[in-house]
């Protein structure tokens, strides 16, 4: 629980930013893995007939799968940030109460 709307907005924006940045970075890693590794090794996915570029299809599919994983990891990191932020605010409040 945040004690001011400014603190709440700050924690929400940072938590969401952490989530989105993590999903994008992990998705780009997946694009690289798909393009440089999986397309050469082969995959057990169903590949449609008439693909113009099997390598690009595998790379984009890998990017999609990795970005889902990145979204899950980012959610955990974002929530972790919000809990840490709240905990730091609580410690500061306790110190301020002791000084009064």
Asked whether residue 10 is assigned to any structural domain, the reply reads no
The secondary structure element, H or E, covering residue 27 is: helix 5-33
Asked whether residue 6 is assigned to any structural domain, the reply reads no
Range from 26-30, 80-84, 88-92 carrying the lowest mean pLDDT: 88-92
Asked whether residue 29 is assigned to any structural domain, the reply reads yes
Nearby residues of 57 by Cβ (< 8 Å), 6 or more positions away:
47, 48, 51
What confidence score (pLDDT) does residue 66 get? 98
Query: Which residue in the block uniquely carries the two structure tokens 């603190």?
Result: 7
In the structure, what pLDDT confidence band is assigned to residue 98 with cuts at 50, 70 and 90?
confident
Asked whether residue 5 is assigned to any structural domain, the reply reads no
What confidence score (pLDDT) does residue 5 get? 86
**Domain total in the chain:** 1
Query: Which residue in the block uniquely carries the two structure tokens 């929400």?
Result: 12
Q: Which of 8-12, 74-78, 89-93 has the highest mean pLDDT?
A: 74-78
- Angle, vertex CA 85, rays to CA 88 and CA 16, nearest 5: 175
Cβ atoms of 48 and 2 within 8 Å: the answer is no
Asked whether residue 3 is assigned to any structural domain, the reply reads no
Give the tens place of pLDDT for each residue, 59-79: 999 999 999 999 999 999 999
Asked whether residue 87 is assigned to any structural domain, the reply reads yes
**Residues of the domain holding 76:** 15-41+53-99
Asked whether residue 31 is assigned to any structural domain, the reply reads yes
What confidence score (pLDDT) does residue 1 get? 60
Asked whether residue 2 is assigned to any structural domain, the reply reads no
């Amino acid at each position: 629980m945040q004690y001011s709307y400014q603190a709440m907005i700050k924690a929400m924006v940072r938590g969401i930013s952490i989530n989105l940045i993590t999903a994008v970075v992990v998705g780009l890693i997946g694009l690289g893995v798909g393009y440089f590794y999986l397309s050469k090794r082969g995959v057990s996915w169903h590949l449609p007939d008439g693909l113009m570029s099997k390598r690009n299809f595998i790379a984009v599919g890998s990017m999609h799968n990795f970005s889902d994983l990145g979204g899950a990891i980012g959610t955990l990191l974002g929530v972790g940030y919000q809990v840490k932020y709240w905990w730091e605010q609580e410690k500061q409040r306790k110190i301020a109460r002791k000084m009064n």
